[in-house]
Chains A and B, each alone.
Chain A
Amino acid sequence: MQPKYILNDNTHVVETVRRSDDITIEVDGHALDARIHWRDAHQCELTINGVAREVYAAQDDSKIFLHLDGKTFQLDVVDEFGDADEAGAGSGRIKAPMPGVMIESYVNEGDQVEEGQALLLIESMKLQTEIKASLAGVVSKIGFAAGASFDKGAVLADVSAPDDEG
């Protein structure tokens, strides 16, 4: 997986390549040693190549807001879990950001789910991650059975919002 962020209209690839006490990060292919210590949900000390900074962070969907060095920055996450791109904003469709394997499905088709409820456990690139519902509704599709592998961009699940009553 290659997380990408848009800063000042340019897209950058930021990747974790190694993690022990320190994390090795590649920013646009340039390796950095990072250490992060979270003080609370929004504040952390971030040390990059030995230089420590106080950082404040908050996220609203695909926007990340940061405050460091006395300035505020806004970045857009290039959303590879993209549910907004093709199916349109407000869609509950979940696509695979990368090839992987379905480990477990917590819900069945037809189940009513809440926004943020964990739906699936997948594994990609040796990482397991829970996939959560982006909106409340009914699970209309589970794309793969446990153990099945999927390709990048495959539909892992679909959650349909209740019919508009307006």
Chain B
Amino acid sequence: MATNPQDEFSVTGSDQAAPSGVGQILRAARERTGKDVAEVAILLRIRQPFLQALEEGRHRDLPGGTYAIGFLRTYADFLELDGEEMVRRFKQEASDDLHPRSELVFPSPVSEGRIPNGALLVIGLVLAGAAYGGWYWLNSHNTTVAGTSTALPERLMSEFSRPASLTADKAASAKPDEAGQAKPDDGQAKPAADAAKSAEAPAPAPAADQAKAEDRGPEDKVAGNVAPPAAAESGAAKPIPAPADAAKPAEPATPEVAPAGAAEPEPAKPDAGKPADAAKPADAPKAEPAKVTQAPPPAAPTAASPAPADGGGSRVVIRAAADDCWIQVREMDGQLLASKLLHRGEAFSVPNRPGLTLTAGNAGALAISVDGKTLPPLGAIGQVRRDISLDPAKLPPAP
């Protein structure tokens, strides 16, 4: 230090508050050299206002921290003062006004002021949900439930049929499943018998009974015409061909549509007694095997009945004869009518409407019959066939 700042006189009131202020020392040193600020500014190339601000301690008028300190160091070195010491003091004095560590805020593109991302996401999700819901609603309202729903496994059905509160309706729909997969063995026959029992328990039981009696009529005829085991196996598909055999196409249809109304059709009567008998022993746990084989078939017609019910007696019936097969039936305008898996032995009666098309996942397993005449298979086992017209006229003729 070349001078002792305490000996120097103070110039302004503000300097009195800081007698050893950096500005004061600078001014004193400059005055000793006999130069004025303008001269120094030209020599140091530092603008005069900045030098004055340094001398007067107006830290806010100086450019940013680094520059102010650089100017001070240059000025102090020029005045032959200890630059580093002056910088140290200056930093102490100006710690409030100077921020040597300038805040760095990089310019970033202005956001376009649209919907924020979070809201966009939520709206997108809601829209997606709405679209799915709408699609689901449309689809579920245009197809019949009977056409699209697949049958419940029999294990569950036997569970369901136990509670007595179940209506005969449910019991009746339970039976088709068993009948569909029915094979003449004891294990499956017994649940069927149970189902029959529970069906008889509630109020509608008499009606159900009657229906059974009627259904048995044609079935027994079939049994008469065809070999009984075959009838038992293909119970679901046969009832329609059966009336054709009997040369009474209209009559069996009516019992199916309104089972309760047409109570006693002629052909049914003579045989009705026997299956009824057969069913009753089946109620009792110890059913004879021969009778058990007959017990499922009575249920079979009811299985077929819901589907043709809206068609009013369909001409074309698709039956999964050789194996399980997935089928899809579409309307003329491409609308889905049915899409289901036909288990072996199950049948699907096609409504009598023009322009229906069939897609089959296992064409060889299907047996299509028109008016009771079985057509040649559509393809090999495992072959997929699409867009087969189901118009009776367009199907290949029966052999």
Is the A/B pair a real complex?
no
Which A residues fall within an 8 A CB radius of B? none
- Residues on B lying within 8 angstroms of A by beta carbon are none
